Amino acid sequence: MDPRGLEFLDEETPRIIMFCGKGGVGKTTCASTTAVHFALKGYRTLLISTDPAPSLSDMLELDVGGAITPIPSVPGLEVVELDYDDVVEKWKEKFGAEVYELISAFLPVDEDIIEYVAGAPGIDEEFALSYVYDLYVGGGYDVIVWDTAPAGGTLNLLKIEETFYVHLGEAAKMYVRVRSALDALTQGRAKRDPLKIIGEWEQLAKNVLDMMKDDGTRAFLVTIPEALGVNQTQRVADDLRRFGIRVGGVVINHVLTEEAADSDFNRARRAMQLRHVEELEKTYGGTMPVVQLPLQPYEVRGVETLKKVEKILFPEPT
């Protein structure tokens, strides 16, 4: 068990810090606390949530949905909670014209096709990755702390990106083979060369995947000391590694301290938790830090409360 909490992150300062795990384990708490920590250390920090059921605005007690918002009480910290209706509109603004150009090179369609494609499953998730990538390459932040969707959503997003990348290469090959027939069918309606559009999308997908696999990107697994949490953590860790994403550590949230176990009920619960803590430490402790975040007697809500948790998750060196 790493006694320093997440303080070791200051020695490495990853460019992107992802918090992953199943819903309800405390990803938003850990992500928010980490973002506050780096901002207090003087880093230009962005906290972003792509959870479809977001709680970031509630936790910060400030509406941060849809637009990047500075946090006045923490200089250097900016926050955005992606609103998925807004995401679709942003997707149409950025890619709508290109989608029409590309599809109209294959089929005789009008611009209504943009609305149809915008409603396709996975479009909002796909754009979320592109949105993070634009912020990543923009250079405006030293650290991006990412409160991801629950485990299944995050991994589906990566699978979509990987599949998209592979299929774009096949689409380019197909277009080359049938180009003359398609030009006759569509009467040359495309204003741009479809191969150029496909090539740009393919490069963007590659860049996003490279960002996720970069040494400066670290995923931290947030879990709770219960069997369901332990099992889910193993599955997420395996999938992240399959995608080549570096797992930087494990945070075990809501751990009952010995002082808190002052009744038969709590003593029994703590004994159960410790068995799972031991299992997590045995599985991951030899290769990465395993950090405990104790259950607090107060609700984690508001920036001042997050500063309290920051002192627990990032204790001062002794």
In a domain, residue 270? The reply is yes
Across the range 98-115, mean pLDDT stands at: 67
Supply the range of the domain harboring residue 298: 12-87+122-308
Q: What is the CATH number of the domain that holds 257?
A: 3.40.50.300
Across the range 199-212, mean pLDDT stands at: 81
Of these ranges, 74-88, 196-210, 273-287, the one predicted with the greatest mean pLDDT is 273-287
Q: Specify the long-range contacts of residues 132-139, CB closer than 8 Å, at least 24 apart.
A: 132/16, 132/48, 132/50, 132/211, 133/204, 133/207, 133/208, 133/211, 135/46, 135/48, 136/15, 136/16, 136/211, 137/207
In a domain, residue 137? The reply is yes
pLDDT bin (cut points 50, 70, 90) of residue 185 is very low
pLDDT at 148: 85
The CA distance from 36 to 161, in Å, is 30
Residues of the chain with pLDDT > 90, as a percent, come to: 36
Q: Collect all residues with Cβ–Cβ distance below 8 Å to 144 and sequence separation of at least 6.
A: 15, 16, 17, 45, 46, 48, 132, 135, 136
Helices (H), the chain: 9-12, 27-40, 56-60, 84-104, 113-118, 123-138, 151-186, 194-213, 227-242, 264-284, 303-313
In a domain, residue 187? The reply is yes
Q: What is the mean pLDDT of the chain?
A: 81
pTM above 0.85, yes or no: no
pLDDT at 13: 77
In a domain, residue 109? The reply is no
- Given a cut of 60, whether residue 152 has pLDDT beyond it is no
pLDDT at 207: 86
- Given a cut of 50, whether residue 181 has pLDDT beyond it is no
Of 300 and 123, which is predicted with more confidence? 300
In a domain, residue 169? The reply is yes
- Given a cut of 80, whether residue 105 has pLDDT beyond it is no
Lowest mean pLDDT among 37-46, 175-184, 246-255: 175-184
pLDDT in tens, 214-223: 989 999 999 9
pLDDT bin (cut points 50, 70, 90) of residue 159 is low
Of 267 and 54, which is predicted with more confidence? 267
pLDDT bin (cut points 50, 70, 90) of residue 169 is low
Q: Domain tally for the chain?
A: 1
In a domain, residue 235? The reply is yes
pLDDT at 203: 80
In a domain, residue 111? The reply is no
